[in-house]
Amino acid sequence: AQTVTQSQPEMSVQEAETVTLSCTYDTSESDYYLFWYKQPPSRQMILVIRQEAYKQQNATENRFSVNFQKAAKSFSLKISDSQLGDAAMYFCAQGGETSGSRLTFGEGTQLTVNP
Amino acid sequence: DTGVSQDPRHKITKRGQNVTFRCDPISEHNRLYWYRQTLGQGPEFLTYFQNEAQLEKSRLLSDRFSAERPKGSFSTLEIQRTEQGDSAMYLCASSGERAQETQYFGPGTRLLVL
Single out the residue of B22, B5, B13 nearest to residue B84, CA to CA.
B13
Tell me the C-alpha to C-alpha distance, in Å, between residue B83 and each of A87, B21, B47.
33, 16, 20
3-state secondary structure labels for all residues of B43-103? CEEEEEEECCEEEEECCCCCCCEEEECCCCCCEEEEECCCCHHHCEEEEEEEECCCCCCCC
Whether chain B has a CB inside 8 Å of the CB on A48: the answer is no
pLDDT higher at B60 or A36: A36
The reply to whether residue B45 touches residue A102, judged by beta carbons under 8 angstroms, is yes
- C-alpha A82/C-alpha A63 separation (Å) is 8
Residue B7 · residue B109 · CB < 8 Å? yes
Would you say residue A99 has pLDDT above 90? no
Percent of chain A with pLDDT over 70: 97
Q: In this complex, do A101 and B105 lie within 8 Å of one another by their Cβ atoms? A: no
**What digits encode the pLDDT tens for the residues A52-83?**
988 889 999 999 999 999 999 999 999 999 99
Which ranges constitute the DSSP H helices of chain A? none
Spatial separation of the C-alpha atoms in residues B12 and B70, rounded to whole Å: 26
Q: What integer best gives the mean pLDDT of chain A? A: 93
Asked if A37 lies within 8 A of B41 by C-beta distance, the reply is no
* Confidence (pLDDT) at A98: 67
C-alpha distances out from residue A94 to B33, B52, B103, Å? 15, 25, 11
Taking the C-alpha atoms of residue B56 and residue B34, their distance in angstroms, rounded to an integer, is 11
Rounded distance between C-alpha atoms, residue A99 and residue A95, angstroms: 7
Residues B52-110: pLDDT tens digits? Answer: 999 889 988 889 999 999 988 999 999 999 999 999 999 999 998 776 788 999 999 99
In which band, very low, low, confident or very high, does the pLDDT at A39 lie, cut at 50, 70 and 90? very high
Interval B43-64: pLDDT, tens: 999 999 999 999 889 988 889 9
Residue A107 pLDDT greater than 60, yes or no: yes
Which one of A4, A47, A102 has the shortest CB-CB distance to B48?
A102
Q: How far apart are CA A87 and CA A110, in angstroms?
A: 8
Element (DSSP H or E) covering residue A97:
none
- CA-CA distance, B46 to B2, in Å (whole number)? 24
pLDDT the model gives residue A37? 97
What was the pLDDT predicted at A24? 97
Count interface pairs A-B at CB distance under 8 A. Answer: 60
How many Cα atoms occupy the beta-carbon half-sphere of B107 within 13 Å? 11
In this prediction, residue A100 carries a pLDDT of: 62
Backbone torsions φ then ψ of B96, nearest 5 degrees: -70, -170
* Cα A111 from chain centre: 12
Rounded Cα distance, B113 and B15, in Å = 6
Report yes or no: B45 at the A interface, CB cutoff 8 Å.
yes
